[in-house]
A and B are shown apart, each in its own frame.
Chain A
Amino acid sequence: MAALGVLDGANLNGGQKLAVKYFTVAFILFGAQILFGLLAGLQYLNPDFLFGVLDFSVNRMVHINALVVWLLFGFIGSVYWLLEDEAGSPVVGIKLGNLIFWIFTLAVAAVVVVYLVVQIGPGEKSSIWLINEGREYIEAPRWADIGIVVCVLVFFFNVVATFTKGRYTGIGGVLVLDLVALAGLYLAGMFYTPNISVDQFWWWWVIHLWVEATWEVMVGCLMAYALIKTLGVRRKIVETWLYIEVALMFGSGILGLGHHYFWIGTPEYWFTIGGFFSALEPIPLVAMVVHAVFDSGAHKMKNNNHPVLGWTIAHAFGNFFGAGVWGFMHTLPQINLFTHGTQWTPSHGHLAFFGAYATIVIAFFYLAMQKWRGNVWMSGNMAGDWKWKWSLALLHIGMIGMVMGMLVAGYQQSFIERAIEGSTWMGYFTAQAHPWFLQGMWWRQIFGWVFAAGYVLLAWDLLTIGKRETRPIAVLHGDASPATA
């Protein structure tokens, strides 16, 4: 172990060295997501801005694709981070894992460069293979699709082989089963059909089931590990709750898919299924509140990494408000008829993705920095601790401001574009020109800059946190040790 406070690879195991590479790319892509989001936001205010140079359609696409990929890199990095610790064995096939990391990163860079260079042109079979598949959120061309599956399969091999060679913990078992679903569901978005309803039917399997099933379970596993490490919660308790959460999540989340099938040409019984499971989906969140209060009574929030705990609490609140409150406000088909596809959707999407996923990946960034600097003190009275607090605050103020701006714009759209004008083109443009819409877009842009400031501060903090620290990590009571065989 190197000196405290010094960034040294010797402090990390093989899986964690690879994880740090994934975290680095994830953080850069997070920045790219913010940059392209700001550009797209400016184009709402001034549609001529960069027209013909960097069109809105491209900005929006890169903004959303960067979100998906940075979170994916963050999740993969987080799994590599905990893998050796959980399995009690070095990562099997780590060289292959490293090779795949570079291939994956270069492929992502190549896809983005092609998006930016070839912005318009005819849609042909060759463009599906080489340029853009045309499916919203998963526009990656077919070659990259196949590449993603290969990379995920290698990642899957690393994880399964390591747990098999070492030991399967509860977290490990759930993680492996979740990765089967994660890799398998992506295939549903890879085949071509000329029927748009059929296409959308399968496309939602990737979009919804990835996000509201496999990603939620993945986050549950990561959260379980983080709680053991930072709060010293007993493994047995955490793993039991992981099983309960997975059951609740899958119980309501899988058929919650129905709320995306309302308006794409699917049979009417999807109203029934979607409505029923959408009403159930907030129940796991209510359960989470009871459990959080119970656990805070048991542990009094004593922890060894304040930024991780801060971002974990932010995750709980963000998930509750973003997915729960903002989702249920417009999920029943009787009202969703008027809100689907307006600014209501990004208002919900921004808060839910940030609250449920970005927060937990950022928590892992801090977990990584602590160990990378030799397991330094990151509890009370930390030097420069204002930075992590202010970056957390700025990112949240920025996010909440953007979400409220889009909410006002979407509220107006649901009235004018949908209810009064009946979803006509004229209605669309009338709503876009309404002062409420424009004011909402201005507020979104202003708070977007606040969010970007939070990102810069977060970058500064991650590079410097623990640098001048000479105290070792705080000792926790309870059983924070690795799994028993």
Chain B
Amino acid sequence: MIEPVAMANFFTVFFSAASVIVFGALYALLFAYARLHRRPRMMVLTYAAYLGLFAAVLTLAFAANLFSNGFWTLIVLLMLVGYLLAPHAIWYLCVGTHADGHDTGEGVTAETSPVKVYQQR
């Protein structure tokens, strides 16, 4: 069911697994920031971060022998799709939850409010 990691690949596994989470967060951060501040050019950086995540997942998969089994290959695919779509889904939920009776506290004008930004897109 599982093929243990070769000793030569230990560092690669640790580093690539940490990179999966860090690139995943960077992708989510850049995605949300680009949409919040209406900076479409930043989306290039956002998807560059996703490419980093993609590379990290593939590196982890090769080093941890995940492609040697159909189930673990499926997990790799789910990770790639899940991390790609999760920020989109959460942004959608953010907009939905703030849309009804959004508070415009000090510092948030109608122009800069995330709901307004989303509606203008």
Spell out A's residues near B (CB within 8 Å): 232-234, 236-237, 240-241, 244, 268, 271-272, 275-276, 279-280, 282-283, 285-287, 289-291, 293-295, 297-300, 302, 320, 324-325, 328-335, 337-338, 411, 414-415, 419-420, 476-479
Question: Which one of B1, B33, B97 lies within 8 Å of A241 (CB-CB)?
Answer: B97
Complex CA distance for A261 and B22, rounded to whole angstroms: 26
How would residues 18 to 59 of chain B score, 1 for a CB under 8 Å from any chain A CB and 0 otherwise?
101110110111011100110000000000000000000000
Contact present for B22 and A232 (CB under 8 Å)? no
How would residues 59 to 70 of chain B score, 1 for a CB under 8 Å from any chain A CB and 0 otherwise?
010001110000
Complex CA distance for A286 and B4, rounded to whole angstroms: 28
The size bracket of the interface on B is 35 or more
What's the dominant secondary structure at chain A's contact region? helix
Please, which residues of chain A bring their CB within 8 A of the CB of B3?
A: 334
24 contacts across the A-B interface (CB closer than 8 A): A234-B103, A241-B97, A272-B71, A280-B78, A282-B24, A283-B83, A287-B86, A290-B29, A290-B86, A293-B29, A293-B36, A294-B91, A294-B114, A297-B113, A299-B105, A299-B108, A300-B107, A325-B22, A329-B18, A334-B2, A334-B3, A338-B4, A338-B10, A419-B10
Complex CA distance for A295 and B66, rounded to whole angstroms: 37
Please, which residues of chain B bring their CB within 8 A of the CB of A411?
A: 10, 14
Please, which residues of chain A bring their CB within 8 A of the CB of B65?
A: 334
Spell out B's residues near A (CB within 8 Å): 1-5, 7, 10, 13-14, 17-18, 20-22, 24-25, 27-29, 31-33, 36-37, 60, 64-66, 71-72, 75, 78-79, 82-83, 86-87, 89-91, 93-94, 97-98, 100-103, 105-108, 112-114
What's the dominant secondary structure at chain B's contact region? helix
Q: A328-B18, A419-B7, A477-B105 are in contact. Are A244 and B13 (CB under 8 A)?
A: no
Q: A293-B32, A294-B32, A414-B10 are in contact. Are A286 and B87 (CB under 8 A)?
A: yes
Contact present for B64 and A290 (CB under 8 Å)? no
Please, which residues of chain B bring their CB within 8 A of the CB of A283?
A: 82-83, 86
Question: Which one of A279, A290, A299, A320 lies within 8 Å of B75 (CB-CB)?
Answer: A279
Contact present for B98 and A291 (CB under 8 Å)? no
Contact present for A298 and B86 (CB under 8 Å)? no
Please, which residues of chain A bring their CB within 8 A of the CB of B36?
A: 293-294, 297
Q: A290-B94, A300-B108 are in contact. Are A332 and B64 (CB under 8 A)?
A: yes
